[in-house]
Structure 1
């Protein structure tokens, strides 16, 4: 481990803005960094990786990619830094982001920068009058009955932005996953590696990490002294270039991971926890969308989950049908 070094891990499957992201990371850093790019089943051409601070790793093949969690685990395994920073491959950066994160670093704390929206085509922050995303909360997993988008996901807490506007380093219930920063020792003691078996390759990255940090007795914070701008792909699509079979496996993995995430955390199945899930809800209470009687409701409302329909009209999840 190299003291003072920040190891930046960038998983990549859809590299349209990867070069711009890497160039921006290099340009805006003011301290000692290394960038570990993990290309997941792709071999992009015409990229400039000549800077000695860059390492490029290839995993999987175009039709047999290993996924985001495997890419993160590979990057962490190769990282030499005292600090880890994971980011998406379509992010714009604040000047001196690395030093602004390091100066606030604590042994027990994972940080998330303030997040703006990225106009990727013009490589600038979207200026549309919306506030930056500082806070997120865990959604009640059965808020919309029989809706496949429901789960223990993170959602934007708009009101908390105003209520706590002047607190520059503040507790954060959960996050998005596009960027997070923590000491390597905290990763090794609490996370160890991302759980690819149960969550599968993509689902609930942010919840796996932030729940483990909080419930192990550590802390997740937003750092408003620095920022990223992140591309929400929306109508662009993910552009993963999957075959139909890959999409089917991806969708099935997402659904298995969604169900696992709810069950694992709500029912306190993590054996390393020092707090139960109820502690996290109470710490941030009131939580938008959570009923007062949630401790009872969350078990009865499980009957309203999308999975109870047994996927009979869902062609992408036909492999999960039980009858």
Structure 2
């Protein structure tokens, strides 16, 4: 067996035309030894992925009975041998030396997020449209619009923090998108694995991890010394290749995650927490869209959340 790599990169994949480009980009730009673990969710790429001694390909599920992103992440990390692990989406470009730059500013109980740009994946270049990169995101108030089932404890770009904190190269962020994250593999044993039962197969990846980090005494930081670029879909769809029944199940799973995320964190249900959710709001206060009386208001607003998988006022203690 080869010596353990410095970094294990996990790529959960569900039918993506840019997967090979992402793999090639990671291999070309890493400075130290890496292994890439690709977890194919119920499909085989066509054309097949190029063989490489530093790339491990795992296949699970079937085309009509896929397991989803969370299981893919858990499977990939269970096979990882690196000192560090990084999860990245299947359609991303990275900065030269990304692995070394991220490891240089990553303490034992940190999750580190590189600065995020937008990727023109077809031409494999950054999109330069005048918008700044994304460094900070906040957790949105879960009931911004009365009765809107698309609302939830989602991450939202925090442009005001970007403008105010430009000179801080390693800085706290309340949340992030979820498309790329980096940490010590040993730390994953404390905050993992991904919880499929609570969140379903796909949504709220960043909320699950980020809230565990902050409320468990760790630190979620953005590293502006390096970057990655995430696929900006433009005219492209998601392209999951689901059957009608799979799309119905996917929608149910998303709603399950939305409901579960609000309930779990607002009501302080994580038993390993060192802080309650209120601590996180206070740390980043004022947080956009959150009313000053949010603890009282959120109980009122929850009455208008008619979940497809729950009941009226489902999460009230």
> What TM-score, normalized by structure 2, do the two folds share?
0.95
Unaligned runs of 5+ in 2: 313-317
The alpha-carbon deviation at position 5 of structure 1 amounts to: 1.2
The alpha-carbon deviation at position 235 of structure 1 amounts to: 3.8
Deviating beyond 3 angstroms after TM superposition, the runs of 4 or more aligned structure 1 residues are: 1-4, 320-323
> Corresponding residue for 2:279?
279
Give per-residue Cα distances to partners, 1:260-281, cap 9 Å, x unaligned. Answer: 0000000000000000000000
The alpha-carbon deviation at position 211 of structure 1 amounts to: 0.3
Structure 2 residue 19 is matched with structure 1 residue 18: yes
> Corresponding residue for 2:291?
291
Contact 1:87 1:180 in 2 (8 A): yes
> Corresponding residue for 1:200?
200
Contact 1:115 1:227 in 2 (8 A): yes
The alpha-carbon deviation at position 233 of structure 1 amounts to: 2.5
The alpha-carbon deviation at position 236 of structure 1 amounts to: 1.6
Q: Distance in 2 between matches of 1:238 and 1:281?
A: 33
Unaligned runs of 5+ in 1: 312-319
The alpha-carbon deviation at position 147 of structure 1 amounts to: 1.3
Q: Distance in 2 between matches of 1:173 and 1:148?
A: 23
> Corresponding residue for 1:245?
245
Q: How many corresponding residue pairs?
A: 311
Q: Distance in 2 between matches of 1:34 and 1:14?
A: 21
Give per-residue Cα distances to partners, 1:30-60, cap 9 Å, x unaligned. Answer: 1110000000000113234322110000000
Contact 2:112 2:182 in 1 (8 A): yes
Give per-residue Cα distances to partners, 1:266-307, cap 9 Å, x unaligned. Answer: 000000000000000000000000001001111111012252
> Corresponding residue for 1:47?
48
> Corresponding residue for 1:142?
143
Computed over aligned residues only, the root mean square deviation of the Cα atoms, in angstroms, reads 1.6
1:104-183 to structure 2, matched below 5 A, reads 104-183=105-184
* Structure 1 pair 252–126 and aligned structure 2 pair: CA distance change class (3 A): same
> Corresponding residue for 2:261?
261
* Structure 1 pair 19–224 and aligned structure 2 pair: CA distance change class (3 A): same
> Corresponding residue for 1:215?
215
Contact 1:152 1:261 in 2 (8 A): yes
Give per-residue Cα distances to partners, 1:72-99, cap 9 Å, x unaligned. Answer: 0000000011101000000011000000
Contact 2:121 2:232 in 1 (8 A): no
Q: Distance in 2 between matches of 1:84 and 1:65?
A: 24
* Structure 1 pair 234–266 and aligned structure 2 pair: CA distance change class (3 A): farther
For residue 18 of structure 2, give the secondary structure of its aligned residue in structure 1.
helix
Contact 1:2 1:81 in 2 (8 A): no
Contact 1:145 1:306 in 2 (8 A): no
Choose between structure 1 and 2: higher helix proportion. Answer: 1
